[in-house]
A and B are shown apart, each in its own frame.
Chain A
Amino acid sequence: MDSLVIAGRAYSSRLLVGTGKYKDFEQTRAAVEASGANIVTVAIRRTNIGQNPNEPSLLDALPPSRFTILPNTAGCYSAQDAVRTLRLARELLDGHSLVKLEVLGDPHTLYPNVIETLSAAQTLVKEGFQVMVYTSDDPIIAKQLEEIGCVAVMPLASLIGSGMGILNPWNLQIIIGEAKVPVLVDAGVGTASDAAIAMELGCDGVLMNTAIAAAKDPVLMASAMKKAVEAGREAYLAGRMPKKLYSASPSSPTGGVIAPAKDKAA
């Protein structure tokens, strides 16, 4: 069984999905089911006070007994806020320590602030969190996050919500080549081929939200992403043929070809 192992725990799916931007919890659940994901990210937000107390909750639609809930710090712009958010998340999820750290630096681009990210990672690892960390595709920062003790490094393919795909496969290859912890592409995947390429590069997994949620048919896209991640993984394991401009080596035998036709005009 080719499982994704994070912090000593094995997962059958290498696709991790977010739960934001869906029409309702029913659609969220249907898309998550179709994706086959074991790990789903959630955000931590202030509860709506004074609204319908019987309003359904996300964790009713996606029960922690069935899914590994990965609380994230999306929306945090400082190490301190990210750490506070995850302390709340750990309390909310009964001591669950696997978390996604993400500290942003700019509300327009949502580009990560790696300095705050490094600082938050240090605090969280000391406090016993198992940190999967979102970062830029800078190989030096990725290595430093691993050395701090993060259990997975998650560089962006391109900016959050952009759907621009993998803009710098070379940096991702360097990160993958150097890492001793799982490397997951997080953010920027737009369609199935992007996810397949990430896996073919040797990524251990892919985390996405908008690519599925913003598709015209999110449930169908979730199914496509599942197949793309599986196909990309298998292609990576199979080892692709080398690329060359031409081969002079046809796929069919060169011998035994029937006699060339006589020239009728002769």
Chain B
Amino acid sequence: MISLTVNGEPRRFEAPLTAAQLIARLELTGKRVALERNGEIVPRGQFEQQQLSDGDSVEIVVAVGGG
């Protein structure tokens, strides 16, 4: 069991997972998103390899309307 904070919300997962697996679990696969892990960018090309660890804080962002 690992705990992550995703966009400020605590979330638990039964096993460690990669950034790509997290994106899939959140039904965001194929969406244009950017991901930050503990304040550092994870490039999209590294989602498959990037392992997420217990206690990690993840931010997933999109472009929205704004000035």
How would residues 102 to 116 of chain A score, 1 for a CB under 8 Å from any chain B CB and 0 otherwise? Answer: 000000000000000
B6 contacts which chain A residues (CB < 8 A)?
A: 49
Majority SS of interface residues in chain A?
Answer: mixed
A74 contacts which chain B residues (CB < 8 A)?
A: 66-67
Give CA–CA (A166, B24) in the complex, Å. Answer: 49
Does residue A128 face the partner (Cβ distance < 8 Å to B)?
A: no
Does residue B61 face the partner (Cβ distance < 8 Å to A)?
A: yes
How many chain B residues sit at the interface, stated as a range, is 20 to 34
Point out the residue from B33, B39, B65 that lies within 8 Å of A42, measured CB to CB.
B65
Does residue B1 face the partner (Cβ distance < 8 Å to A)?
A: no
Does residue B8 face the partner (Cβ distance < 8 Å to A)?
A: yes
A69 contacts which chain B residues (CB < 8 A)?
A: 63
Contact A49-B26, Cβ < 8 Å, known A91-B34, A91-B43: yes
Does residue B44 face the partner (Cβ distance < 8 Å to A)?
A: yes
B interface residues with partner A (beta carbon < 8 Å): 6-9, 26-28, 31-36, 39, 41, 43-44, 59-67
Provide 26 A-B residue pairs closer than 8 Å at the C-beta atoms, listed in order of the A residue: A18-B67, A19-B65, A20-B67, A21-B65, A28-B65, A42-B63, A43-B66, A44-B34, A46-B7, A47-B26, A47-B28, A47-B61, A49-B60, A53-B27, A53-B28, A58-B62, A58-B63, A71-B63, A72-B66, A88-B34, A88-B41, A88-B61, A91-B43, A92-B33, A207-B67, A208-B67
- The 3 residue pairs across chains A and B that have the minimum distance between CB atoms: A43-B66, A18-B67, A209-B67
